[in-house]
Chains A and B, each alone.
Chain A
C-alpha cells in the first residue's frame, strides 16, 4: 500500500518529464530542420523582424506617423527633415514620414492576420468537430453553408459586408475571420471523421468522458498538425486581403496607417514619379506574405514528411 502511494507521484513525474523531453526533442528537430532548409530560416528571420517592428514600432519610429508637415511634402528618401531628423524613406503628400507609417502599418497587418485566423479558426474548428463527430443533419447544414460561402469570391463577400458595416479594425477582423471558417471546418471535419472510430476515442467514450472533452481533449490535439500548416498559409492570404480592402478604402479609419492605404494614396502621385510612396509599402507586404508562405511550406514538410515527396 505504501509502495503504491509513493509510486504514483513518481510515475506521474516520470511521465511528465518524459513528455517534456519529447517536446524538447521535437523542438530540437524543428530547429535543425529549419536551419537545414535555408528558405525556412530566411522566412523565420523576416517574421521575427516584422513582429519586433510591430511590437516596438512606436519606439522605433523617428516621427509621429500622423504628423503632417505640408512644407516637407513629397520629399524623396534621405531628405533632411526638421531639426536633425531625416526622412529615410521619404515623405508623403501630407508631409508624413513614410518610414514611421510603414513601421506602424506592420501592427495592423499582423494584428488583422492573426486575429482573423483566430476568429475563423475557432469557428471552423468547432463547426468541423461537430460536423465530423455527429454527422447527419448538423453536418449537412454546416457543409452546405460552406458551399454557399465558397460560391462568393471571398473579396466580394468582404466588400459587401464592409460597405454596410463601415470600415474599422474590428469589422475588418470579423469579416476576414468569418471568411476563413470553411477552410478549417472542411479539414477538421475530414480528420474527425477518420479519428472518431479510433480505439483511443472509443476508449475515451467508454470511460465516460463527456462529448466536449472527447472533441477538444482527445480529437483536437491529434489534428493540430494540418491546422497549423493551413493557418500559416491563411495568415498570408488574410494579410493580402486586408491590404486589398485597405487599398479600396474599406480598411481601418484613415488615421491608422496601413500598408494597403499607403499604396492607395500613392496612386495619385505615380505620374509625378513619387516612387517611394508605392515601392516601400508594397515591399513590406511582399516580404511579410512571403515569410508566412515559406514557413507554411516548411511546416507542411516538417509535420508530414510523406508530402515532401511531391514538393
Chain B
C-alpha cells in the first residue's frame, strides 16, 4: 500500500510540474509576456520596469525555475485590476466554488446511479427508453444555455428560484462560526439549486448511461445467474451481487467528473453572477488580468489533481484486483 501511495504521489508531482510547464508556455507563446502584465496605456519606461521586476529579461530556463518557485509559494503576481495579490483574490472566491462543485456532483452522481440502475432493470421497456432519451438530450445541452433557460423560466417567469447571488456556508464554517454556517445552509442550497442543475446535467446524463451499461454487463455475469438459480430474491441478487460489482467503474468516473464539473463551474458561474472563481476568471479574461487568470486556472488544476489522487486511493482500497 505504501509503495502504491508513494508511486501515485510521485506521478502527481510529475503532473504538477507538467501543469506549471504548460502554464509557463501559455504565457510565453504569444511573445514577450511583459505586455500581458502592463496596462495598454503603459509607457516604454513602465514596460521596461515591469520587465525587469518580473524577470522577463532573463534566460527562459531561469524564468521557468523562478516561475515554479513563485507558483509553489502561491505568488502569481499582483492583479492588474484589483491591485492585490492574485492568489489572495482567488482564495477568497474559492469556498463558493467548492460549495457549488460539491452540490453539482452530489446532484449528478446521486441521481445518475438510481436512474442508471432503474433503466438497466427495465431494459427495453418505455422507462428505459425514456431515461436514455433524456440522457442523450442532457449530453447535448450546453450547461450555460441550460442556466439561461432556467433563469428565464424558473427565475423570471415562475419566480421559484433566485437568478443570482450566493449565501456563504463554507466561509463561516472555515472561520469556526458554525452557528452562522448551519443557519445559512438552507438558503445557501436554495441559491445553488439552479446553477448546480445547470452544471450537473451533462454529468448526470453521461453517468446514467455508464451506470446502465455497467449494470447490464454485471447482470449477464455467471455469478448473477448462479445467484438467481439458487433462488435468492431478485432484490438481494441486485443489491448483494450486481451492485457491489457494478459500482467500481462508477468510482473511477466520479474522479474524472470532478474535472468536468470544475470546467463547467467556470462558465455557469458567469451566467448566474455567482461569486466564485469562475466569475472571477471571466472578469479577469475580459480585463486581461493575467495574474488572476493564471492563479484561478492553476488552483483549479491543483484541486483536480488532488481529488483524482484521493479517488485513485479509494479505488485501490475498494478493488482487491488493483495491485499495490
Contact = CB atoms under 8 A, between A and B. Distances in A.
A270 B151 CA distance: 8
Interface stretch (B48-56, B170-178, B185-193, B294-302): B294-302
Contacts of A36: none
Main secondary structure of the interface of B (DSSP, over half): helix
A271 B297 contact: no
Contact of A285 (B15, B142, B270, B300): B142
Interface stretch (B16-24, B38-46, B231-239): B16-24
Among B144, B217, B264, the most chain A Cβ lie within 10 Å of the Cβ of: B144
Interface in B284-324: 285-286, 288, 290, 293-294, 297, 300-301, 304-305, 308
B136 A294 contact: yes
Interface in A195-248: 236, 240, 243-244, 247-248
Contact of A310 (B29, B213, B285): B213
B290 A165 contact: no
Contacts of B33: 164
Point out which of B151, B152, B305 has the most chain A C-beta atoms below 10 A from its C-beta: B152
B148 A278 contact: yes
Contact of A161 (B26, B152, B282): B26
Given A163-B290, A282-B142, A290 B29 contact: no
Contacts of B148: 263, 266-267, 270, 278, 282
Interface stretch (A99-107, A112-120, A149-157, A182-190): A149-157
Main secondary structure of the interface of A (DSSP, over half): helix
B74 interface: no
A156 B300 contact: yes
Nearest to B146: A282
Contact of B142 (A244, A250, A271, A309): A244
A165 B285 CA distance: 12
Nearest to A307: B213
Residue of B22, B137, B260, B271 most packed against chain A (CB within 10 A): B22
A67 interface: no
Given A166-B30, A249-B285, A310 B217 contact: yes
B62 interface: no
A159 B36 CA distance: 15
B136 A293 contact: yes
Contact of A160 (B14, B216, B297, B308): B297
Given A154-B263, A311-B213, A148 B14 contact: yes
Contact of A153 (B29, B141, B149, B300): B300
A153 B141 CA distance: 19
Closest CB pairs A-B (n = 4):
A148-B18, A153-B263, A282-B145, A290-B140
Interface of B: 11, 14-15, 18-19, 21-23, 26-27, 29-30, 33, 36, 136-137, 139-145, 148-149, 151-152, 156, 213, 216-217, 220, 259-260, 262-264, 266-267, 270-271, 281-282, 285-286, 288, 290, 293-294, 297, 300-301, 304-305, 308
13 contacts: A144-B18, A147-B18, A155-B266, A165-B30, A263-B148, A266-B148, A270-B148, A282-B149, A285-B145, A286-B142, A293-B140, A309-B220, A310-B217
Interface of A: 144-145, 147-157, 159-161, 163-166, 236, 240, 243-244, 247-250, 263, 266-267, 270-271, 273, 275, 278-279, 282, 285-287, 289-290, 293-294, 297, 309-311
